[in-house]
Structure 1
Amino acid sequence: MAVLLTEDQVLECRARIRAVAEEQFATRGLAATSLRSIAAELGWTAASLYRYFRNKNELLAVTRAAAHDRFSDRVEAAYASTTDLWDRSRAVGQAYVDFAFAEPHAYQLMFAFSQPEAEKTEALRVAERRSRRTLTAYVDDMIAAGLVQGDPVVLGHAYWAGIHGLIVLQMAGKLDPAMPFDTIRHEIMRLVTRGAQPPIGEAGMARRHVHETPSPPASAMPNASTEHPGRIHKEPS
């Protein structure tokens, strides 16, 4: 007779399954990961996992949603940590980079995997929208204050594309050791920020004088200092 679990026990079991699934999806890939392989690592029977997830697609969606939510928690906390807009952009960027290197499997599940809409849970759709919002919320503020100009979605994605590409290169061990991660990161952010700043004489300049020579906000996604060795596993995508 099956033992009835409390709600807390069910949540704990689901969290254990997600943790193993996250690691296997990221390191083995989707095709080589199955409920059977996950159950084997847990020391369970494959049938026991069906008590918690209907199939692999549902487990992948739920695991990816949890990764997006942890990411958003970290970035939103950074956003709320200061009201200075340049400092906020730096804090958001630092939080982004810290998450990527602290949770490389989760980061890969978020950005290197995709699922057909029909296979997504509603929780995953909500989590994806929330994490996408972190890419533009601080940019909205900077545009409203006249510090930068442009479409916040486009500008937020420009920052994101620059730092994401750099993180992937670092994780893959492709960066020249003579060219540290931080050096390239700051240059990317400097160039994007300079290009987005209003020309001299525009109204926004009146609000920029106190930050006339910012070290460009390690903006959207900064600072991964050299503490982050950045090796994700053997084959980051």
Structure 2
Amino acid sequence: MPKALSDTETEAFRARICQAAAKLFVEEGPAAVTMRRLATELGCGTMTLYRYYDSKEAIITAIRTRGFDRLAQALENALDTPGDGRTRSRNVRDAYIDFARGDTATYRLMFEYPQTHRDDPSYSRAHARLWRCICADTRVMIEEGTIQADAPILGHQVWAALHGAVMLEIAGLLPEGFDAASLHTRTFVALMEAARPKPAS
């Protein structure tokens, strides 16, 4: 009879399953992610995986859910730092880039591929949490009076520019001398300049 795992050990093994599946998914394609292949990668029996997830689809949904939650937590922590809105926004940007660089396979799986199982309650909650984070730093700058804008719209514009810069860095397609942060900074400055409060006429 298998030894019962502690909650910490169970969570650690779930994380290993998700990391292995994400790597296979983005490097070899969705068809490479099978319970048999994952068991081989992890050095365990196929039936062991079914103690944690009941299907390949459940694993992919878990990767996205866990990824959204981890990224949201990183962005929330970055926003909850001293300084004005611009400083805190820069911290959010850096946390976002660090996440993408630190777990590139999960990041790519979160955003590059069609989303399935959107009605899964945990997935829906994590997805909504991340989208709240996307415009949170923009909201701070609006409340400070630094800019005038529709927070969700401008927040998504800023995020789209950041995501694009990150994906170009991952693909090795940035111009020489640029990384994701330096490229995004230029776009961010232009967006903030356009959103500066207009003097009363």
Letter of the 1:125 partner, please give it.
S
User: RCO higher in 1 or 2 (8 Å CA, sep ≥ 6)?
Assistant: 1
1:99-110 → structure 2 map (5 Å cutoff): 99-110=99-110
Note if contact 2:61-2:116 (Cα within 8 Å) is conserved in structure 1: no
Q: 1:57: Cα distance to partner?
A: 0.7
Note if contact 2:19-2:106 (Cα within 8 Å) is conserved in structure 1: no
* Structure 2 residue aligned with 1:195: 194
* Structure 2 residue aligned with 1:174: 173
Bigger Cα Rg: 1
Q: 1:194: Cα distance to partner?
A: 0.7
Looking at structure 1, the residues matched to 5 and 175 of structure 2 have their Cα atoms a distance apart, in angstroms, of: 52
Gaps in structure 1 of 5+ consecutive residues: 203-237
* Structure 2 residue aligned with 1:78: 78
Q: 1:4: Cα distance to partner?
A: 4.9
* Structure 2 residue aligned with 1:44: 44
Q: 1:3: Cα distance to partner?
A: 2.2
Closer/same/farther in 2, CA of residues 35 and 92 from structure 1, 3 Å limit: same
1:47-126 → structure 2 map (5 Å cutoff): 47-117=47-117, 121-126=120-125
Question: Secondary structure of 1:114's partner?
Answer: coil
Looking at structure 1, the residues matched to 178 and 87 of structure 2 have their Cα atoms a distance apart, in angstroms, of: 25
Instruction: Give me the TM-score of the superposition, normalised by structure 1.
Output: 0.77
Q: 1:139: Cα distance to partner?
A: 1.2
Looking at structure 1, the residues matched to 71 and 40 of structure 2 have their Cα atoms a distance apart, in angstroms, of: 28
Note if contact 1:67-1:110 (Cα within 8 Å) is conserved in structure 2: yes
Q: 1:29: Cα distance to partner?
A: 2.2
Question: Secondary structure of 1:200's partner?
Answer: coil
Percent identity over the alignment?
Answer: 31
| 2:151 corresponds to 1:152 | yes
- How many pairs are equivalent? 200
Looking at structure 2, the residues matched to 50 and 101 of structure 1 have their Cα atoms a distance apart, in angstroms, of: 30
Closer/same/farther in 2, CA of residues 89 and 54 from structure 1, 3 Å limit: same
Instruction: Give me the TM-score of the superposition, normalised by structure 2.
Output: 0.90
Gaps in structure 2 of 5+ consecutive residues: none
User: Which is richer in helix?
Assistant: 2
How much is the aligned-residue C-alpha RMSD, in angstroms? 1.9
More displaced 10-residue stretch of structure 1: 170-179 or 33-42: 170-179
* Structure 2 residue aligned with 1:27: 27
Note if contact 1:135-1:157 (Cα within 8 Å) is conserved in structure 2: yes
Looking at structure 2, the residues matched to 117 and 40 of structure 1 have their Cα atoms a distance apart, in angstroms, of: 26
More displaced 10-residue stretch of structure 1: 121-130 or 178-187: 178-187
Note if contact 2:134-2:156 (Cα within 8 Å) is conserved in structure 1: yes
